[in-house]
Structure 1
Amino acid sequence: MFRALYIGLLSLLATGCLAQTTLNQGLKQELNSIDAEDQKYRILIMRQMLTGAPSGYDSIARVVHLTPEQVGPYVSQRMLELDSVNIRRIARIITQYGYPGKTLVGEPTNEVALLVIQHSNRIPQYLPLIKKMAAKGEIPFYLYARMLDRQLMYEGKEQLYGTQGRSFGVPNAQTGQRENVSFIWPIQDAARVNQRRKKAGFDSTVEANAQRLGMKYKPMALAEARAIEQASAAKP
């Protein structure tokens, strides 16, 4: 009798553990599909920017009957259109399930909704939720840190973790021709940024991150960054 009760209890405990760890496979599959759409054109753009390899753009030009010069704007427009579709899908998912974190869809699928939000204009709306999920361990904290940096930059404020860079076309004072100026957006308490990055879970320094983005890192005052941004908006 006691043995039967003991086995029954173990069975109930096992069932409870299984229920707690069972992922929503349908939602996981949908999010993975959204992720593929989100990255489709970004991969092409990044490859072309970093390597100058035209092969991906050439194949698109042949399919949609565009000149090579027209492919870049076409790809960018298609990416923006997909971003608009994807953020609406993510908004629906969050309304139905809450944020789809590690417990619900596993890793790395738990990062998909965050990345789509980061590619939208809805960061202010969802940033508190992302912070809450990071605190619970449902998403990596460094991804919240990167989103926070992006929002601070959009607001014209100093970022905290040095994850965000900007590029502007600025007129040369001597030639009048526009030249590209790229830099890591100003960082609050820049002397301690690498300590904050390590604590947040980043595996690289701000200098290495800048190099990855094709820039050389140097601390910059916010006033200097704003001056460059204003100069880029000036008419030739």
Structure 2
Amino acid sequence: MVISCMQKYAFIMLLFVYGLAKAQETINEDLKKELDGIYKIDQILREYIDNETSDSRKLQILNETGYSKEDFANGNVYKILKIRDSINLKRIEEIIAKQGYPGKTLVGEPTNEVAWIVIQHSNKIANYFPVIQEAGASNEIPFTKVAMMQDRMLMYEGKEQLYGTQVSGQYILNVTTGKKEFWYCVWPILNAESVNDLRKEAGFSTTIEEYAQSMGVTYKKFTLEEIKKLTVKD
């Protein structure tokens, strides 16, 4: 029997639609919805404390969250944020323990990055970094996320980062005024002379200089020893 071109095309399209339908069936819509909600909770208070957030947007956030301006006064917003982060982390840990990392296959994109964000904002990065590595290796999250978490883990351990994704703030002594001031810099990088090549290989679209500028910092290469000497206790 001779199959016409139109029949072949129809058959191919049928396979494509079937494959797409099967792929969509794997998405856990309930989990996706829950994770999207967790993402909103994670981000909304951080948006409130962002210096670039307008007063009108801050008022919207208060209305959305049910808090008052007084609730957030005297640094209480940071206490509330810490509590919310803890609740989010507990839920993410439960999800991972039950079914592994909720990646692209399970919840689609960009929801696949929500668990990563919650862990990145926690003090348990070292505990879950192997899970994040595995998710990156299986293409469940972008490798850039693995790189960012590895950099933060190394910084928290007092070591040099690899990809230059982490900016750190510390108090330094202004030699001109003799006063302490808060200062930001790109945390020291291992093999800083080749960091842009490594960033490109990892999938980052900007150089270290461009990235630093986007974070409001002028890039300058520092060693761990130099940072240690500059830093004073707050």
Shorter-chain TM-score: which interval? 0.7 to 0.9
What is the aligned counterpart of 2:97 among 95, 109, 113?
A: 95
2:70 is aligned with 1:66: yes
Cα distance, 1:228 vs structure 2: 2.8
Structure 1: any 5+ residue segments left out of the alignment?
1-10
Q: Identity percentage over the alignment? A: 44
| Closer, same or farther: CA 13–86 of 1 in aligned 2, 3 Å | same
Whether the aligned pair in 2 keeps the contact of 1:57 and 1:71 (CA below 8 Å) is: no
SS at 1:156 equivalent? coil
2:224 is aligned with 1:215: no
Q: How do 1:41-60 residues align onto structure 2 when only pairs under 5 Å count?
A: 41-46=45-50, 48=51, 50=52, 53-56=54-57, 60=62
What is the aligned counterpart of 1:134 among 136, 156, 160?
A: 136
What is the aligned counterpart of 2:208 among 206, 209, 212?
A: 206
**TM-score, normalising length from structure 1?**
0.82
Deviations 1:2-54 (A, max 9, x none): xxxxxxxxx999878744542111111110010000001111222x2x46x44
What is the Cα-based RMSD across aligned positions, in Å? 2.7
Whether the aligned pair in 1 keeps the contact of 2:172 and 2:183 (CA below 8 Å) is: yes
Deviations 1:54-75 (A, max 9, x none): 4455675xx63539xx636122
- Alpha-carbon distance in 2 for matches of 1:72, 1:218: 34
Corresponding pairs, count: 217
SS at 1:166 equivalent? strand
- Alpha-carbon distance in 1 for matches of 2:79, 2:147: 28
Q: Structure 1 counterpart of 2:33, which letter? A: Q
Whether the aligned pair in 2 keeps the contact of 1:161 and 1:193 (CA below 8 Å) is: yes
- Alpha-carbon distance in 2 for matches of 1:125, 1:18: 36
- Alpha-carbon distance in 2 for matches of 1:42, 1:181: 20
2:5 is aligned with 1:27: no
SS at 1:33 equivalent? helix
Structure 2: any 5+ residue segments left out of the alignment?
1-13
Between structures 1 and 2, the one with greater helix share: 1
Q: Structure 2 counterpart of 1:96, which letter? A: K
Cα distance, 1:170 vs structure 2: 2.4
Q: Structure 2 counterpart of 1:204, which letter? A: T
**TM-score, normalising length from structure 2?**
0.83
What is the aligned counterpart of 1:121 among 102, 120, 123?
A: 123
| Closer, same or farther: CA 66–132 of 1 in aligned 2, 3 Å | same
